[in-house]
Structure 1
Amino acid sequence: MLAAVADSPGRLADVLTLRDVDGPADPGAGEVVVRMLATTVNPSDEVSVSGAYGSRTSFPMVPGFEGVGVIVAVGPGVPGSALGRRVLPLGSAGNWQQYKRLGHSWCVPVPDDVPDEVACFAYINPLTARLMVDRFCGPGVRTVVVTAATSAIGRHLAELLADRGVTPVGVVRGTPGRGVADPSRWRAVVATNEPGWRERLRAAVGPRGADVTFDCVGGGVGGDVFALTAGDGAFVHYGLLSGTPLPADCFTGGGGARVELFRLRDTVQKDDGRHLPELFAPVFADLRRGRLHTAVGTRIGLGELAEHVKGPAAGRAGKVLVDPQR
């Protein structure tokens, strides 16, 4: 079968190769084989390949945490009715290949009325946004700041916050040609490449500061936004797009907001995945209603993926949808 393989840690563009490899062995007890129907590329794939998670990443590896497939073989102990079922194969990387063997408990059934190109993106951004808003935006939360507001998850957060009557303040880099998807969902959008952005952000959140900040940037910008989060508020840090950690003084206390480190893996990687269908139920309900959808900007076959990741990321609109069968 065809697979995208990283033989060693490094930049995805430098270490990813396409090759023919042996297909999966027959599934063992409690296992299934999934024929991949669609997958995509996320920052989490790039971070894993970089070697940042050395304690739990071994090479060579097949990246790809997100995707949808159909069960084509089942091992002992798996109901025969699972055959032909579309699923999200979770719990590990490995979606950048044509077939994936994994435990049946890590396969989340996909509702029949959710198309492949919607289900493909149901995991990382929609589930993260839903879990964070449910966990940190209870009654009384009125002022919320979202960094990387032009991102897919930024759009999802704004959509979910609107249900709670909250219009967030967005922080963006100010990249030409990139803007928030629906300006009406944002109280203000502040670009960090413009002089005086900190003062404008302070004015937008008010003298008390933000009740909750959702930050996936880190670095100096994350530190500056942390300083504008209320002392009794929550600074939810769930990514590191800048590649630079938050300043150390964000963690030292001293009257500042509490830092909440949200890792989707911590919620997903428990109970051998048996809790996952319940976890995804509200996400699938949103997707059915036309919410939390991800715009597809590029469609490619798996055979084109290695060249695709070498191209410039700047200016790409929407996500890449990868067909593993070509």
Structure 2
Amino acid sequence: MTEIYETQPERTDLPLVVMPSLLQSMIEPIKAQFPALKDVARVRMYEEFTSDEAVLAERITDADALLVGGYHISDDLLNAIAERSHIRCIVFCGTGVASYINLPLAREHRIRVCNAEHYGDHAVAEHAFALMLELVRRVGALDADVKSGNWAWSGGDGLQLAGRRLGIIGLGGIGSTVAGIARGFGMQVSAWNAHVPAERFAGLDVTPVDDLGDLIAGSDVVSVHLPLNDATRGIVTAEHLARLRPGTLFINTARSEVIEPGALLARLRKGDIPAGLDVFDHEPLSADDAICAIPGVVLTPHVGWRTDGAFKELTRQMIACLTAYFAGEDYNVVVSER
């Protein structure tokens, strides 16, 4: 039986916020934020994760605002929300809301959509390095060898990050954090000079490179940190990836959609590029997906953002979006209802 957590249930004079589905890891962090909604809104939270749209639609029938915990809202569900509920504010638990909600359709329905910003800068940056380190030192395979009694490692010696050049595609909050960590590892750092203030390069001691293909061709490690929007969708092309030198490490903890469809799989199939990927064209990834059969590729299930610190900041921002909405103010508004 699904546990339902409610705050101020007796305050029927207050608007109702419903969270019909959420990740287990979010339960306690978001509960800790609910006191900020005292005398502002009551909350009804279902303590399970489901993406069943029939269940979601039933649970949000009488809601005034919706907290979205990591599931996709189809156009059909969004239309139903607009037509059959009082919901005029949707708060998404992350930055890349464009991958989960049709924003133009939300704008058409005059539904506010909010997200969270920079909550996972450190979490995702650290995960990018976890992928790099697994590729160059193969700690997981070594652990398995030792535990199986094989002390004589036969998988080849590791590689060293110090002295190698890291090319960052997307020098925003996460990319900037990655640059700082890379400096701590003794790496040289370059980044694509696309709408990035000159002072950011100077402050991070990062070399700007104007041409994306040149950045990729000149790097020992390439790490993608672009947000997904209309301007970035498919911006990394097959032609760009063709310029990866054999042995270059390719890391993507951003969004798979910033790469031209099919281009990365085709490049990795050549077998000369080690890669660490946390995001995919289709999620969840099935075991028989073609990318799972490519040697030298490390895959994780879109968990780069999931740390204790990230959850704390994420849920703080989600509740701040609601308090601003009910006060007639703006906070992290991606689509305005006005």
TM-score class, shorter-chain normalisation, is 0.3 to 0.5
Q: Normalised by the size of structure 2, how large is the TM-score? A: 0.43
The structure whose residues are more often helix, as a share, is 2
Q: Normalised by the size of structure 1, how large is the TM-score? A: 0.44
The structure whose residues are more often strand, as a share, is 1
